[in-house]
Structure 1
Amino acid sequence: MNTVSPRVLLVRGMLAGLVAGVAAFLVAYLLGESKVDAAIAIEEAGAAVGHDHGDEPPVSRALQATAGLGTGVLLFAVALGGIAALVLCFALGRIGRFGPRATAALVTGALFVTVTLVPFLKYPANPPAVGDPDTAARRTALYLLMIALSALLAAGALLLGRRLAPRLGNWNASVVGSLAFVAAVALSYALLPGVNEVPDGFPAALIWEFRLASLAIQTTLWATFGLVFAFLVDRAIAPTAAPKEAVQPTS
């Protein structure tokens, strides 16, 4: 396989992140914004009953749902693309006999599980009006802690699999490492405190629909990124073609 500089992979990762960000923005706008509007309407109705806030928000809701949402999603996706590219620089040639495309796809899948899926299952996203503002810092810290734990446990599972591979074989060692990761994540779920701050009377269906929309956005982001990134990496690291065997002329 031809060598390639980290800068080349970084540029391609950020470009793939940009494309994935556009796809995620479309899904967020089509699926998520209606759920946000419904939650805001419930929040405003409750505020009107309790007390009047008076002042209008500094940024209009229409601007938040378009330019604000698009900017945030694109910046987030480009940053993730750069991180994935750096992880790929380390992973190439170190996680088995996989080509560049397969390695990029595996890295993307692993990042989706560790950075998005595992934290989401413990601390799922909530719509506006759900959650006590006084505990926002605590909830954010718990979520970031879950991401850090998930990444560390994934790294530990990978090291365990590599150590066991000479004795158990690659497949069996991978299965053992995966099971160890699942068990460690389950233990983390049990030890970390839960968060349940849903107000009384808040529609459970809206929370469920919002969380599904959030997961759909993240899945779209990572799936699009994985496909585009794998393609760009494969083009950047073209395998060296084996020279054709010379045919000896017959006399």
Structure 2
Amino acid sequence: MNSVSVRALLVRGMLAGLAAGVLALAVAYFLGESRVDAAIALEEAHAHSHEHGGEELVSRTMQATGGLATGVLVFGVAAGGIAALVFCYALGRIGAFGPRATAALVAGAALLTVYVVPFLKYPANPPAVGNPDTIGQRTGLFFLMVALSVLLAVAAVITGKRLAPRLGAWNATIAAAGGYVVLVGLAYAFLPSFNEVGADFPATLLWEFRLSTLAVQATLWTAFGLIFGVLTERLLLPRTGSAAASAPTATVGAVN
């Protein structure tokens, strides 16, 4: 794929990430912020008898609006750009998939490896949950789990491609995926775990908060896959009608 196509796909990936970020922002605001407010209320009630030093640097209103929007949209643009570069490499190399299918696979793999797998080991915690003394360790381990998940996923793809000539595409895919699951399971077993949820913290609120964070990521990556797939197909398969439908493989091959 030439540099012009890569640059055009990178721009489209960032735009798709921005659009997906807007949708994820709506989910985060309407679904997640109420749970955050409830957790903060519990935290303040629990600490009511203790003195608080100093004023808060950023108001809760700013955190729930400008701060939330900045974080989600910047993440969407950055993630979209990185995913677009992964798409450039993956197109035509992971099977006979067109642009839309490749975009969907990249988005699904990103959701699984970058968020779901680390989330199952180190789920997000609302305010009032977690020991402040371990927040640095928990953050570091979460990003370590992200790195391990991504590296193991890349290794699984490479292994699957190498096994395909001997085992066939289906068996090679099953073997590679099984190896990924086993190695992730070992990482789960050997990395330290944290159980810092207080006995008085409502289990329902914790569950709803964690589901809302998962919903934000699922919305972002699903929307990105759908939007980016449309944009890439229009770029790489510019012809419409029966001519484009009859020869998609040749057109994709011409830009690789």
Q: Deviations over 1:160-216 (max 9, x none)?
A: 111110011111111111111111111111111111111231111111110011111
Letter in 2 for 1:87: V
Equivalent pair of 1:115/1:150 in contact (CA under 8 Å): yes
Structure 1 gap ranges (5+) = 245-251
Alpha-carbon separation, structure 1, partners of 2:65 and 2:157: 40
TM-score when normalising by structure 1: 0.92
Residue 10 of structure 1 corresponds to 10
Alpha-carbon separation, structure 2, partners of 1:90 and 1:119: 24
Residue 174 of structure 1 corresponds to 173
Alpha-carbon separation, structure 2, partners of 1:127 and 1:32: 10
Alpha-carbon separation, structure 1, partners of 2:91 and 2:4: 11
Equivalent pair of 1:4/1:237 in contact (CA under 8 Å): no
Q: How does 1:51-130 map to 2 (within 5 A)?
A: 51-130=50-129
Residue 43 of structure 2 corresponds to 43
Equivalent pair of 1:22/1:74 in contact (CA under 8 Å): yes
CA RMSD of aligned residues (A): 1.8
Alpha-carbon separation, structure 2, partners of 1:106 and 1:4: 23
Alpha-carbon separation, structure 2, partners of 1:235 and 1:191: 46
Give percent identity, aligned residues only. 65
Letter in 2 for 1:176: A
Report the Cα offset of residue 235 of structure 1. 0.9
Alpha-carbon separation, structure 1, partners of 2:154 and 2:238: 28
Structure with higher Rg: it is: 1
Report the Cα offset of residue 117 of structure 1. 0.6
Report the Cα offset of residue 85 of structure 1. 0.7
Letter in 1 for 2:45: A
Alpha-carbon separation, structure 1, partners of 2:107 and 2:220: 11
Alpha-carbon separation, structure 2, partners of 1:217 and 1:111: 14
Moved more, 8-17 or 197-206: 197-206
Alpha-carbon separation, structure 2, partners of 1:123 and 1:73: 20
TM-score when normalising by structure 2: 0.90
Alpha-carbon separation, structure 2, partners of 1:53 and 1:233: 53
Equivalent pair of 1:125/1:211 in contact (CA under 8 Å): yes
Residue 253 of structure 2 corresponds to none
Residue 197 of structure 1 corresponds to 196
Report the Cα offset of residue 92 of structure 1. 1.4
Q: Deviations over 1:126-175 (max 9, x none)?
A: 10111111111100110000000001110111111111100111111111
Residue 229 of structure 1 corresponds to 228
Letter in 1 for 2:92: G
Moved more, 32-41 or 169-178: 169-178
Residue 33 of structure 2 corresponds to 33
Letter in 2 for 1:117: V
Equivalent pair of 1:88/1:103 in contact (CA under 8 Å): yes
Q: How many residues align?
A: 242
Change over 3 Å in CA distance of 1:176–1:85 after alignment to 2: same
Alpha-carbon separation, structure 2, partners of 1:44 and 1:150: 36
Report the Cα offset of residue 2 of structure 1. 9.4
